[in-house]
Chains A and B, each alone.
Chain A
């Protein structure tokens, strides 16, 4: 094991030397550090997405130097924000509004160009909608097999990721020279936004055209906490019976707890709640301090999205529902009575 990892370290050192090109100083520091990670950070409307800072936390676990990457129009403010993040050494930014709409067709060539220029060994990004659409394209362009949605890092080439809707945990070792990784946000907390003082650099801009253009977006507006990062989540299922009841029963409970609102696939499919609220294998994966669900039976696909929650509480009238096998606190009863009573008592 030791000798094998030694060989790989040597190989990486050689790769570094090769790609470092005409700057001997850079290659010396590369030798001293071997590992160099690029954390791809997301921004929207000139604001750094704090959730994307988990990539820096993952990079810290790897060791080695950490560079942040941001792109978009008027990116200076975002780059400055990123440069203050703790643990980051350098921020590479590309100022071009063509990258604002997060289109993988032009963003992937942009990233590839900067990866080649920087000679990074690890490229890390959140397993978000953008990360999911972008990174496999980047990986293919670099002829690398991506490692998706990792939950832990064992060493520079060994990663842990859930498969089969979280029913199995695989440890995989990558033989690629560049590791392209997306991380599960709930497994890597965002790095602190303060304390860093990274240098700033302009990245390369290949200005690739995108055959696809952005038309519009329709984002659910809410004053409640963001589902993916909320400390508390209340979630409703088919048992709510209608959208009116969902809103009448679940929203006051969410407000009483200061929680985000989630839903099962059944509730979403029936139109009780918006698609973006779906928790599960194909929706959001959440791991809050408290996950309180009502009218959810606990299908495998739903459990995949919430079973790493610290405390799970469930209200269901079926005492044999699978949700009770994972719930820390279970209450058998009619949610139309129990949830309003709970809301009222929490408000006191």
Chain B
């Protein structure tokens, strides 16, 4: 039984607190000059991986935590953050801004990395907060033929080092499944509370290695299958103004036919 070799894919996205604006040409969301950060769900995946190492919850320990990102040159910042949080090293597949592959393409790249690096656990975020697709982990599991546990809120390992028990968030509550390694797990918000990288760890992360490569180095065709025809702002809601008291609220709700 060998230690865990964990792959954590991370994505650079517009910061969750920023309200995105559609560009004038209605082709995409404006990204220039907008604050970016690590996709919040990916922070949870890194945190969980580091905790498995620190708390020694896997019997033969964690051998490697490899962060991966496919994105523009600036995605390297996100990989530094991941390494400052505790990832050992990184792979950066560099693409032009706005030229990021679709989930299927990313999943194919990840499959190549998994095979090359002898990964036995992939920890992904359940969705990226820009595209909101929520597909990559499941696609990767399908391509590899591995078990999957999505929207994980709790992950525990058996003493024999094979079994993984995962509590998942599902509609109406939670569900617990038991899988065997190698496996794909996607993180839900409730999984943990990600740490802030400390200054010494940020300094240390600068010495950790980012291996740069192109999609073709992984032997993967990441051609797009979906063409974005148009991106528009949703129709704005008109705030209906305020009422003075509870009676006013009831009257207005009746007028609107809501009660």
Interface of A with B (CB < 8 Å)? 103-105, 108, 128-130, 132-141, 143-149, 158, 162-176, 210-220, 226, 228, 232, 257, 265, 269, 274-276, 281-282, 284, 289-290, 300-301, 307, 310-313, 315, 319, 324-333, 338, 341-342, 345-346
Contacts and interface: CB of A to CB of B under 8 A. Distances in A.
A144 B240 contact: no
A300 B237 contact: no
A212 B150 CA distance: 12
Say which size band chain B's interface belongs to. 35 or more
Nearest to A49: B171
A207 B16 CA distance: 43
A141 B141 CA distance: 10
Contact of A210 (B147, B170, B250): B147
Interface stretch (B55-63, B69-77, B128-136): B128-136
B169 to A, nearest CB: 6
Interface stretch (B78-86, B91-99, B173-181, B200-208): B173-181
Contacts of B133: 146, 148-149
Interface of B: 14, 16-17, 19-20, 22, 29, 41, 102-104, 107, 126-127, 129-143, 146-151, 153, 165, 168-180, 183, 188-190, 224-234, 237-243, 245-250, 252-253, 256-259
Given A104-B148, A158-B229, A212-B148, A164 B104 contact: no
B225 A145 contact: yes
A172 B226 contact: yes
Nearest to B149: A212
A301 B14 CA distance: 13
Contacts of A133: 138, 148, 150-151
Given A105-B148, A342-B249, A274 B173 contact: yes
A134 B242 CA distance: 44
Nearest to B240: A328
A289 B258 contact: yes
A137 B256 contact: no
B148 A148 contact: no
Nearest to B233: A168
Nearest to A315: B249
Given A170-B230, A210-B147, A140 B153 contact: no
Nearest to A147: B226
B129 A139 contact: no
Contact of B172 (A104, A134, A176, A219): A219
15 contacts: A135-B138, A148-B132, A148-B133, A162-B234, A164-B14, A167-B19, A210-B147, A211-B183, A212-B177, A214-B177, A216-B175, A282-B189, A311-B257, A311-B258, A346-B250
A136 B142 contact: yes
Tell which of A134, A144, A167, A301 has the most Cβ of chain B within 10 Å.
A167
A156 to B, nearest CB: 14
A160 to B, nearest CB: 9
A137 B139 contact: yes
A312 B172 CA distance: 23
Contacts of B41: 282
Nearest to B256: A311
A342 B246 contact: yes
Nearest to A231: B258
